[in-house]
């Protein structure tokens, strides 16, 4: 099948979060399936365009209109190897040659332009995708412009829109419709929600199918608590809203080969994990003992559960354990965590930075991974943690619920520890159960660690499920 993927980020070119990882691994996995031809469209951000290692070739240029604006579009192509996606970059220095990716006053206009430019590029290059798969609000206007202005060129192309996080919907004032979008009046209602222009809502209504990144999140999105205003619209999609749980790139995220680690290890030869723990303690100035290391690699924002972590933090630190946090975020959390860390030298290491090699060493060297997110569409770091033999403690929401079945010491089933309501005391209760098992029976604990490492979090199954979805539409 000819499939075009459209997103605002994809590793290794550009990544600010989980979306970037998914957009690297999913197109790659789909491209390995015989008979598929995958193209991926991204903005040609300054960071990519002026990277001396980039090797994209120019393929064509033209202009697109956004009402009175006539904007240049340059298309650059990075050819992958055999059975790899072809990446197309949309070049426009006015919109994309900036320091940073998002957060500009004109983000709405930038990504409205992007949607139109991508469709025009497909038209000029005669790509004729059978299926266009759009991700998050930044590519949400693609299904809209496709139906409104490009149907003549793509009469039977079908669209899938995937929600990676419903919190970011792409909103603009009502005047944006006339000033930027330039669509015919019949699209006004479709693009409007709650008196504003809402990109995500327009895609939910227009796309042939809507998916999100876990089955539980797909159910949760039908309720106001999770849906940031869009529950009614999402519920009305019925069974055309489905969840497909993400995988991780198990080739690159692999404790057997990860070069950031002190020593490599695997489920069959796990000894190196202990060496990684010692090395991590040394690197971060923690006491080199056998207490469990609890870790978090996260953005320090409230929906990641940092508020309930702060609430239990001192009680947590009374236990026999060590705590490592890596990440940056809201100033109030950075200050609160750092000030507590300074009271517990050798026991609590707070690292206000992001560094992927350090993240690898933390996943490898720790025993428990904390992910108390208030809501979590899928979550990737609990998967990485388990793959590195670090047992997760999670709030049973969204993808965390789907990927971390609770451990039952009686039967030996399950992969981690969960709590059911977003509440600090329940979170601490789950940590205490984990500590009980860690200290209780080393054989049970190593069996749990081994099962986590052996669980299949690859993209194989999710990619197949996407193929089934695409085939049902095309
Ligand atoms: C978003 C979500 C996260 C998900 C990722 C990739 O970042 O918040 O839960 O894993 O997208 O789909």
Cα separation of 366 and 415, whole Å? Answer: 16
Ligand 1 centroid distance, CA of 264 (Å): 28
Say yes or no: 275 and 228 in one domain. Answer: no
Region of residue 136 (phi > 0: left; psi between -120 and 50: alpha; otherwise: beta): left
Ligand 1 atom having least distance to the Cα of 373: 9
Is ligand 1 within 6 A of the CB of residue 211? no
Q: Does 352 fall in a domain?
A: yes
Q: How far is CA 441 from CA 365, 367, 387, in A?
A: 20, 14, 22
- 276 and 190, same structural domain? no
- 164 CB less than 6 Å from ligand 1? yes
Sequence-separated (6 or more) residues with CB below 8 Å from residue 467: 1, 30, 33
For residue 262, being part of any structural domain is answered with no
Does residue 194 sit in the same domain as residue 314?
Answer: no
Show Cβ contacts of residue 89 under 8 Å, excluding neighbours closer than 6 positions: 41, 42, 43, 44, 48, 49, 56, 75, 76, 77, 78
Under-70 pLDDT residues of the chain: none
Q: Which two tokens stand for residue 212?
A: 């999100």
The pLDDT score that the predictor gives to residue 409 is: 87
Same domain, 110 and 226: yes
If asked whether residues 465 and 333 sit together in one domain, one would say no
Asked, for residue 258, whether it belongs to a domain, the answer is no
In a domain, 392, yes or no: yes
- Do 107 and 209 reside in the same domain of the chain? yes
54 CA distance to ligand 1 centroid (A)?
27
Q: Answer yes or no: do 169 and 310 share one domain.
A: no
Domain membership of residue 418 as a residue range = 271-454
Q: How far is CA 403 from CA 133, 305, 418, 461, in A?
A: 24, 18, 11, 13
Which atom of ligand 1 lies at the shortest distance from residue 377's CA? Answer: 9
Asked if 25 and 127 sit in the same domain, the reply is yes
Residues 89 and 17 in one domain: yes
**Count of alpha carbons within 13 Å of 4, Cβ hemisphere only?**
26
Q: Is 378 in the pocket of ligand 1 (CB under 6 A)?
A: yes
Q: Which CATH number covers residue 414? A: 3.40.50.2000
Q: Is residue 137 domain-shared with residue 220, that is, in the same domain?
A: yes
217 Cα to the center of ligand 1, angstroms: 11
Which pLDDT does position 262 carry in this prediction?
97
Is the residue at 46 inside a domain? yes
SS3 133: strand
Asked, for residue 321, whether it belongs to a domain, the answer is: yes
The pairing of beta strand 196-198 with beta strand 171-172: antiparallel
Count how many domains the chain has: 2
Residue 255 lies in a domain: no
- Are residues 82 and 108 both part of a single domain? yes
Please report whether residue 217 resides in a domain.
yes
Asked whether residue 134 falls in the same domain as residue 203, the answer is yes
What pLDDT does residue 354 have? 86
């Amino acid at each position: 099948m000819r499939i075009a993927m459209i997103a605002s980020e994809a590793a290794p070119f550009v990544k600010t979060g989980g979306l970037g990882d998914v957009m690297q691994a999913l197109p790659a996995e789909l491209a390995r399936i015989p008979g598929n031809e995958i193209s991926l469209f991204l903005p040609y951000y300054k960071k990519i365009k002026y990277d001396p290692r980039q090797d994209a070739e120019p393929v064509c240029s033209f202009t697109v209109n956004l009402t009175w604006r006539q904007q240049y579009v340059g298309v650059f192509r990075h050819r992958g190897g055999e059975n790899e996606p072809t990446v197309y970059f949309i070049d426009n220095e006015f919109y994309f040659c900036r320091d940073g990716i998002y957060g500009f006053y004109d983000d709405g206009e930038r990504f409205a332009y992007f949607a139109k430019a991508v469709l025009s590029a497909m038209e000029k290059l005669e790509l004729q995708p059978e299926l266009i798969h759009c991700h998050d609000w930044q590519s949400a206007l693609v299904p809209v412009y496709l139906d409104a202005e490009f149907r003549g060129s793509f009469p039977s192309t079908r669209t899938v829109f995937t929600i990676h996080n419903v919190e970011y919907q792409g909103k603009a004032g009502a005047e944006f419709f006339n000033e930027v979008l330039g669509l015919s009046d019949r699209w006004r209602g479709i693009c409007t929600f709650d008196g504003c222009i809402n990109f995500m809502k327009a895609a939910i209504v227009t796309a042939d199918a809507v998916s999100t990144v876990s089955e539980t999140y797909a159910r949760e999105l039908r309720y106001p608590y999770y849906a940031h205003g869009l529950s009614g619209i999402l519920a009305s999609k019925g069974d055309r809203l489905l969840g497909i749980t993400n995988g991780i790139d198990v080739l690159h995220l692999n404790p057997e080969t990860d070069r950031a680690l002190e020593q490599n290890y695997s489920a069959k030869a796990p000894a190196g994990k202990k060496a990684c723990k010692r090395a991590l303690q040394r690197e971060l100035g923690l006491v080199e003992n056998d207490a469990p290391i609890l870790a978090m690699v996260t953005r320090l924002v409230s929906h990641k559960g940092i508020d309930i972590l702060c609430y239990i933090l001192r009680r947590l630190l009374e236990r026999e354990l060590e705590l490592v946090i890596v990440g940056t975020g809201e100033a109030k959390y950075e200050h609160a965590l750092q000030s507590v860390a300074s009271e517990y030298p050798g026991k609590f290491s707070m690292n206000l930075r992001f560094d992927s090699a350090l993240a690898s060493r933390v996943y490898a060297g720790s025993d428990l991974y904390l992910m108390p997110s208030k809501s979590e569409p899928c979550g990737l770091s609990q998967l990485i943690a388990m793959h590195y033999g670090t047992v997760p403690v999670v709030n049973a929401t969204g993808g965390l619920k789907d990927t971390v079945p609770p451990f039952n010491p009686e039967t030996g089933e399950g992969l981690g520890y969960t709590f059911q309501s977003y509440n600090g005391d329940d979170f601490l209760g789950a940590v205490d159960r984990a500590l009980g098992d860690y200290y209780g029976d080393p054989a049970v604990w190593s069996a749990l660690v081994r099962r986590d490492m052996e669980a299949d979090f690859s993209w194989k199954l999710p990619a197949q499920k996407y193929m089934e979805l695409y085939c049902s539409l095309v």
